[in-house]
Amino acid sequence: MQKSKAIIASYLGLIFFSAFIFLGAGKLWYWQGFLYLVAALIGTTFNHLLLPKGSTLTEERMKTAQNGLDWDKKILGLTFILSLVTFFVAGLDSGRFHWTGKVPLSLTVIGVLLLLTGQLIFAFAKRENAFFSSTVRLQTEIGHQVCASGLYRVVRHPGYLGLILANLGFPLIMNAYTAFLPTLLGIALILLRTQLEDRFLNENLEGYRAYAQKTPYRLIPWVY
């Protein structure tokens, strides 16, 4: 029952954020908005279908940051606000004022591919890591351990890499280059959170320091 509620909540959350696209556009019949909504629904479904049976990660992902770290609460709060701004600006641009103008179809396709690729990477990272969470914390109640398999053999935070790719695809799908500004600010927050989470795990999770030495890159192999 709890899992079903969490799944429903994830779809309702997607609809809530997408509503700001149509609010900015000032209309409901708006193909860019519907294209994003369909692509995001497919990505969200990936995330649910790829989880192994019996997994509680869906419920874990729906937990709030109420008992989280102070810096994580602030980053999540800013991320929430920036997401709303990004969606609203995209709607204003391509749906109402057309600041960007005509965008090649090829870029729209690239945007969809970026979003779906990012969602798949995120889904496989979540599937691999039994301790994947929406908040930075040690899950001592279930014996938190380092995950060093699957995508985690390549980079230490593949879930964040997936989020970054999906975020970069959004302005292209929406044909709204103006949305790149809040999108890049959001990505900057992801990079900051990656660094702070890495430091937290290095200091508090047994075995993480050795894992970080074996897997030296946080997000991009041979780069960062």
Range(s) of the domain holding residue 151: 2-214
Q: Which residue has the tokens 């990656």?
A: 194
What pLDDT, on the 0 to 100 scale, is given for residue 66? Answer: 58
Q: Which residue has the tokens 């660094």?
A: 195
What pLDDT, on the 0 to 100 scale, is given for residue 3? Answer: 72
**Where residue 8 sits, what CATH number does that domain have?**
1.20.120.1630
How far apart are alpha carbons 201 and 194 in whole angstroms? Answer: 10
138 pLDDT tier (thresholds 50, 70, 90): confident
Return the half-sphere exposure (C-beta side, CA atoms, 13 A cut-off) of residue 214.
Answer: 11
Is the model's pLDDT at 59 over the cut of 80?
no
164 pLDDT tier (thresholds 50, 70, 90): very high
Mean pLDDT of 4-14: 89
The answer to the question of residue 220 being in a domain is no
CB 41 within 8 A of CB 17: no
The answer to the question of residue 105 being in a domain is yes
CB 172 within 8 A of CB 186: no
The answer to the question of residue 219 being in a domain is no
The 10s digit of each residue's pLDDT in 81-104 is 999 999 999 999 999 999 999 999
The 10s digit of each residue's pLDDT in 47-57 is 888 887 655 55
What pLDDT, on the 0 to 100 scale, is given for residue 146? Answer: 95
The answer to the question of residue 44 being in a domain is yes
What pLDDT, on the 0 to 100 scale, is given for residue 56? Answer: 58
How far apart are alpha carbons 125 and 57 in whole angstroms? Answer: 11
Tell me the whole-structure pTM to 2 decimals. 0.92
Beta-carbon contacts of residue 70 (< 8 Å; ≥ 6 apart): none
Q: Based on the structure, what is the number of domains in the chain?
A: 1
